[in-house]
Chains A and B, each alone.
Chain A
Amino acid sequence: MGKEMTGASSLVKSLEAAGVDVMFGIPGGAILPAYDPIFDSSIRHILVRHEQGAGHAAEGYAQATGRVGVCIVTSGPGATNLVTALANAQMDSVPMVAITGQVPSAAIGTDAFQEADIRGITMPITKHNYLITDPADIPRAIAEAFHIASTGRPGPVLVDIAKDALQKMTTFKYPSEIHLAGYKPQVEPEDEAIRDAAVLIAQSEKPVLYVGGGVIKANASKELMRLAELMGAPVVTTLMARGAFPDSHHLHLGMPGMHGTVAAVTALQKADLLVTLGARFDDRVTGKLSSFAVNAKVIHADIDPAEIGKNRYADVAVIGDLLHTLNALIPAVQKEFKKSKPDLTTWWRQMSSLRATYPLGYTKPEDGSLSPQFVIERIGAISGPDSIYVAGVGQHQMWASQFVKYEKPRTWLNSGGLGTMGYAVPAAMGAKVGMPDTTVWAIDGDGCFQMTNQELVTCALNNIPIKVAIINNESLGMVRQWQTMFYEGRYSNTSLQSKFIPDFVKLADAMGCAGLRCERPEDVDAVIKEAMSINDQPVVVDFRVFKDAMVWPMVAAGSSNDEIMIARGLAPDWDSQEL
C-alpha cells in the first residue's frame, strides 16, 4: 500500500526514488507546491539565476557524469526559458529530465496567468513529454521519464505538472517495473549484421573508424580501443566524440569536419570503408553530402534506427547499444582476420604523410598580441587531461576542440548539434556539481559569456568553483571570420567592444568570483597557474586576444570536403601527396 501525501510530496519522493542527488531550478507560482517538500528533501537543489542556466547545468551534469541531469522550473516563462536547453539536449542526445509547473488543470486552455503549452511547444525538441493533471500519475510519469531519458538514444524528457495535481492528496507508490508498449530500444545487435560488418572490415584496405558521441554515451571507449588496435585502422573523433579515443594514440587522426584536421577529413574522403560508430553524418562532418566519401562502403552502428540511412546509405546497419555492438564485433572481426587480414601499409603511408605535413597549427599574431590558440593550448597543457573542458560556440569552441588534448571520455563538453552560445558557464557549473573533485574549465567567448554569465553568482554562492577563460577577441569571432571570408570584410554587427565594456574583471568581482586579466603571451602560464591555485571561489580570466585570428583548416559550408583549406586561399598541396 502506498502512503497518503500531496502530489508535490509524491513528486519529490519519486525524484528521490529515481536516484536524483541534485537538481537545478527556480521556483514560481505553479511549481511552488513542489518547493515545500523540496525544502525537506535529501536532494540538493541549486537555485540558479535563469531557467536556461538550469537546463544547461543539468546537461553539463549529465555529460560529465553519465547520469540523468534534472531541472525544475515554473510554468509559462519559466518553462519557455528552458526551450533552448531542451533543444540542445535533444540534438546532442543528453539524458535530462525537466519538471515544469503548469497552471491548475481547470485553467489550462484559458490563457491563464503564466500559462504556456509547454508540452506542445517542446514536442519536437524532447525525446518525450508528459502533461500530468492527476496526482496519481506522478510516480509513473517520473519513473518513465528517467527510463526514457537514460536508455536507448538518450535525450530530454519534460514532465509538465498542473498545480492542482501537486496540491491534491494522493498515494505514493513508485513503480517497480516500467512497461512502454511503443518504446523498446534494441540493445543487442543482430548476429547477421555483425557478421556482415566483420566481412566488410576484413575486405577493406582503406578503413576509417568514424567515431561519434554515441561511443561516449555507451561508455564504450575501451571497446573502441580494442577494435581500433585489432584493425590497426585510422580513427577520427567528431566534435561530440572528442575524448572517446586518446589524442595521444598513434591511430588517431583527430577531428573530421568543417574545422577538422587535413588527415581526418581526407581519411574519410578517400576511405573504402567507414566504420561509423554512434555518429550521424552531420552536415558539419560530411560537407557537401554527394561528394562525401564517394568510394566508401558504410557500416553504420547506432542505437537509433532512424539515423540509419537518414543522410547516407548504409551498406550494413547495426542497430544496438555500441557497448554490445563492439563486444560482438571484436570477436567477429578476429574470426574474419584469421581467414585474411588486409594490409593497411599503403593506406597508413598516405595518412601518416598527411598527418605529418598538415598538423594542426596557428601563426602567432605579428603585432605581438595574444594568440587565442596559444592561450587554449596552454590551459590544456597546464590543467591536463584529467580536467573537464566546457566550451560555448564559435571560434573558441573549435580551438578548444583542436588545441586541448583529450585523453578520456567525458572531459570535453560542448554544444555540438544546436550550437548554443552561452552553453559553457552553466554547463561547467553542472559538470562541477557532478564532479566536484575535478578541475572544470569553461573556455568561453566574450560573446557567449555575456549570454549566461549570471550563473557565476550561483557558482559563487553554492561553492561551485569553476574556472572560466574568456577568449576575449571583442567580437562574435566566428561570424566575423565568415564576414572576412564571404562578405568582403564588411563587419556588420559583430563588434562587441568587450575590451572596453564590460570590464570582465570587475564583473567577476561583483559576482563573487576572482577576476584576472592577461594581455601578454609571456604572462599566460603564470595567470593560468594563478587561476589553478584558486579553489575557494570561481575564477574568471579575461584573456584579451588577437581579434583577427581564424579557425583553420576550414571547409566552407556546402562545399565538398575535397575543398578543404589550411589557411586563407591555401589548399593542401595534393600533388605532393600520394593518394
Chain B
Amino acid sequence: MSKHTLAVLVENSPGVLARVASLFSRRAYNIDSLAVGPTENPDISRMTIVLNLEGHVLDQVMAQVYKLVNVIAVSEMPTDSTVHRELLLVKVATTKIDEVLEIVLRFGAKVVDEDEQTVTIECTAESVHIEALLKALTPYGVKELVQSGLVALERGTAALSDRTLSAQGISTLHEISTQADYQN
C-alpha cells in the first residue's frame, strides 16, 4: 500500500461530487481525503483525492474515474515535483499562552483569534508539518480542530491539462503495473 494523490478535473455540473464519491464507495476504494474547489475556468472544478492503495489498483481507480462522463481529466500528481498543502485551524484552551505562541512561531503558523481562555491557530503546510504542530500543541489542550483535505499543484510550468490521462493515451497507462501485481 502507498499514498497516491490524484488531481481530477470535472465539469462544474450538479451531482458531480456525488458521482465521484459514489464510484469510490461502490468499488470499495478508500479515500484518505478529498478536496474540491473552483479553477481558473468557471466551468471546471478540480478535485484532489488522496488514496492509500496498491499500484495496480490505482490504474483501475483512474480508469474508472475517467470513465465518468463529467470527468475531463485524471492524473496522478508526481510526488517529487508537486507542492502539497493542507490547512489546519485549531483552537487551544490554555493558560500558558506564551508557550503556545512560541510553538506557533517555531512552526511558522499564525494566530487568527485569541481571548482569555483560548488561542485559535492557522497553519498551512504539508501533512507531516501539520501533524508535528498538532503533536506539539496537544499537551496544552486542543479544544477543537478542523482540517481541509490536501490540495496539490505541480511545480514548474507543467499543468494538469498537459499530462492528463487522455493526453497520455490511456493504453500506455498500464505500463506502470506488472503482472506480479495480479498474483493473488
Interface residues in chain A, defined as those with a beta carbon under 8 Å from any beta carbon in chain B: 119-120, 123-124, 127-128, 131, 148, 180-184, 186, 190, 193, 290, 304-306, 308-310, 312-315, 317-319
Nearest Cβ distance between residue B34 and chain A, in whole angstroms? 17
- In the complex, the answer to whether B18 meets A123 with C-beta atoms within 8 Å is yes
Residues of B within 8 A of A312 (CB): 182
**Residues 61-78 of chain B, each 1 if its beta carbon lies under 8 Å from chain A, else 0:** 001101111111000000
Q: Are B179 and A313 touching (Cβ within 8 A)?
A: yes
Q: Is B184 an interface residue (CB 8 A)?
A: yes
**Chain A nearest CB, measured from B76 CB (Å):** 15
Q: In the complex, are the beta carbons of A290 and B72 less than 8 A apart?
A: no
Chain B residue nearest to A312 in the complex (CB): B182
B145 on the interface (CB 8 Å rule)?
Answer: no
Residues of A within 8 A of B10 (CB): 182
* A182→B69 contact, CB < 8 A: yes
**Bound Cα distance A320, B22 (Å):** 27
Q: A123-B15, A131-B14, A312-B182 are in contact. Are A306 and B171 (CB under 8 A)?
A: no
CB distance from A189 to the nearest CB of B (A): 8
Contact across chains for A305 and B171 when beta carbons are under 8 A apart: yes
Question: Are A313 and B171 touching (Cβ within 8 A)?
Answer: no
Chain A residues near B64 (CB-CB < 8 A): 306
Assuming the A-B contacts A131-B15, A180-B69, A313-B177, are A308 and B183 also in contact, with contact meaning beta carbons closer than 8 angstroms in the complex?
Answer: no
Residues on A with C-beta less than 8 A from B63 are 305-306, 308
Interface assignment of B11: CB less than 8 Å from any CB of chain A: yes
A315 to B179, CA, bound (A): 8
Whether, in the assembled complex, B155 has its beta carbon less than 8 Å from a beta carbon of chain A, the answer is no
Among B22, B71, B173, B183, which residue has its beta carbon within 8 angstroms of that of A182? B71
Residue ID in chain A nearest B25 by CB atoms:
A124
Report the minimal beta-carbon distance from B114 to chain A, rounded to whole angstroms.
Answer: 41
B179 shortest CB reach to chain A, Å: 4
Q: Could you tell me if B18 and A319 are in contact, using CB atoms closer than 8 angstroms? A: no
> Taking A182-B72, A313-B182 as contacts, is the C-beta distance between A123 and B67 under 8 angstroms?
no
- Do B19 and A123 touch across chains, with their CB atoms under 8 A apart? yes
Closest approach, in angstroms, between the C-beta of A286 and any C-beta of chain B? 12
Contact A308 B18 (CB under 8 A): no
Residues of B within 8 A of A123 (CB): 15, 18-19, 22
B3 contacts the other chain (CB 8 A): no
CB distance from B168 to the nearest CB of A (A): 11
A178 to B11, CA, bound (A): 15
Complex Cα gap A308–B173 (Å): 10
Are A190 and B169 in contact (CB-based, < 8 A)? yes
Contact flags B163-184 to A (C-beta < 8 A → 1, else 0):
0001001110110011101111
Of the residues A186, A193, A290, A310, contact of B184 by C-beta under 8 Å: A290
Is the beta-carbon distance between A190 and B171 smaller than 8 angstroms? yes
B86 sits at the interface (CB 8 A) = no
The 10 closest A-B pairs by CB, nearest first: A306-B63, A305-B170, A128-B69, A313-B182, A182-B72, A313-B179, A319-B171, A317-B171, A183-B69, A124-B26
Interface 0/1 of B1-41, CB less than 8 Å to A: 00000000011001100110011001000000000000000
Q: Are A309 and B59 in contact (CB under 8 A)?
A: yes
A-B contact pairs, 21 of them (CB 8 A): A120-B15, A123-B18, A123-B19, A131-B14, A148-B69, A182-B11, A182-B68, A193-B171, A305-B63, A305-B173, A309-B56, A309-B59, A309-B174, A309-B182, A310-B60, A313-B177, A313-B178, A313-B181, A313-B182, A317-B171, A317-B174
A305-B67 contact, Cβ under 8 Å, with A182-B72, A319-B170: yes
CB distance from A320 to the nearest CB of B (A): 9
Residues B60 and A309 in contact, CB atoms below 8 Å apart = yes
Among residues of B, the one whose C-beta sits closest to the C-beta of A305 is B170
What residue in chain B is nearest A123 (Cβ atoms)?
A: B22
- Chain A residues whose C-beta falls within 8 Å of the C-beta of B67 in the assembled complex: 304-306
- Let me know if A306 and B60 touch, CB within 8 A: yes
What total count of A-B pairs have CB within 8 Å? 69
**0/1 per residue, B46-66, Cβ < 8 Å to A?**
000000000010011001101
Determine which residue in A124, A128, A190, A306 has the highest number of CB atoms from chain B within 10 A of its CB, and name it. Answer: A306
Q: Which chain A residue has the least Cβ–Cβ distance from B182?
A: A313
Does A318 lie within 8 Å of B182, measured CB to CB?
A: no
Contact B66 A305 (CB under 8 A): yes
Interface centre among A124, A184, A309, A314 (most CB of B within 10 A): A309
Residues of B within 8 A of A186 (CB): 170
A308 touching B171, Cβ below 8 Å: yes
Q: Nearest residue in B to A311 (C-beta to C-beta)?
A: B182
Residues on B with beta carbons closer than 8 Å to the beta carbon of A317: 171, 174
Chain B residues, CB < 8 A from A315: 179
A568→B71 CA distance, assembly (Å): 50
Q: Which residues of B contact A290 (CB under 8 A)?
A: 183-184
Q: What separation, in Å, do the CA atoms of A148 and B68 have in the docked complex?
A: 11
User: Which A residues touch B170, using CB under 8 A?
Assistant: 186, 305, 319
Q: How far apart are the CA atoms of A119 and B181 in the complex, in Å?
A: 36
Given known contacts A190-B169, A290-B184, what 9 new A-B pairs fall within 8 Å (CB)?
Answer: A119-B15, A120-B15, A127-B69, A128-B69, A131-B14, A180-B69, A182-B72, A309-B60, A313-B178
User: Which residues in A have their C-beta under 8 angstroms from that of B19?
Assistant: 123
Q: Kindly list chain A residues whose C-beta atoms are within 8 Å of the C-beta of B60.
A: 306, 309-310
Bound-state Cα–Cα, A305 to B170, Å: 7
Q: For the complex formed, measure the closest distance between the CB of B129 and the CB atoms of chain A, giving whole angstroms.
A: 35
- CB of B109, distance to nearest CB on chain A (Å): 39
Please indicate the chain B residues that have their CB under 8 angstroms from the CB of A127 in the complex: 69
Query: Whole-angstrom distance between the alpha carbons of A184 and B166 in the complex?
Result: 9
Collect the chain B residues with CB atoms within 8 Å of residue A120's CB.
15, 18
Please pick, from A124, A181, A308, the residue contacting B174 in the complex, using a CB distance under 8 A.
Answer: A308
In this complex, the member of A123, A312, A315 whose beta carbon has the largest number of chain B beta carbons within 10 angstroms is: A123
A306 to B182, CA, bound (A): 16
- Measured in the bound complex, the distance between the Cα atoms of B183 and A317 in whole Å is 19
Q: In the docked arrangement, what's the CA distance between A313 and B60, Å?
A: 11
A277→B23 CA distance, assembly (Å): 26
Known: A182-B71, A305-B171, A306-B67. A124 touches B166 (CB 8 A): no
CB neighbours of A318 from chain B (8 A)? 171
User: For chain B residues 134-184, which have a beta carbon within 8 Å of chain A?
Assistant: 166, 169-171, 173-174, 177-179, 181-184
A309 to chain B: which residues have CB within 8 Å?
A: 56, 59-60, 174, 177, 182
Q: Give A184's nearest chain B residue, CB to CB.
A: B166
**How distant is A403 from chain B, measured CB to nearest CB, in Å?**
35
Return chain A residues, CB-CB under 8 Å to B18. 120, 123
Q: Once the chains bind, are A314 and B174 in contact (CB under 8 Å)?
A: yes
Tell me how far the C-beta of B136 lies from the nearest C-beta in chain A, rounded to whole angstroms.
43
Residues of A within 8 A of B70 (CB): 182
Tell me, in angstroms, the Cα distance from A186 to B66 when the chains sit together. 13
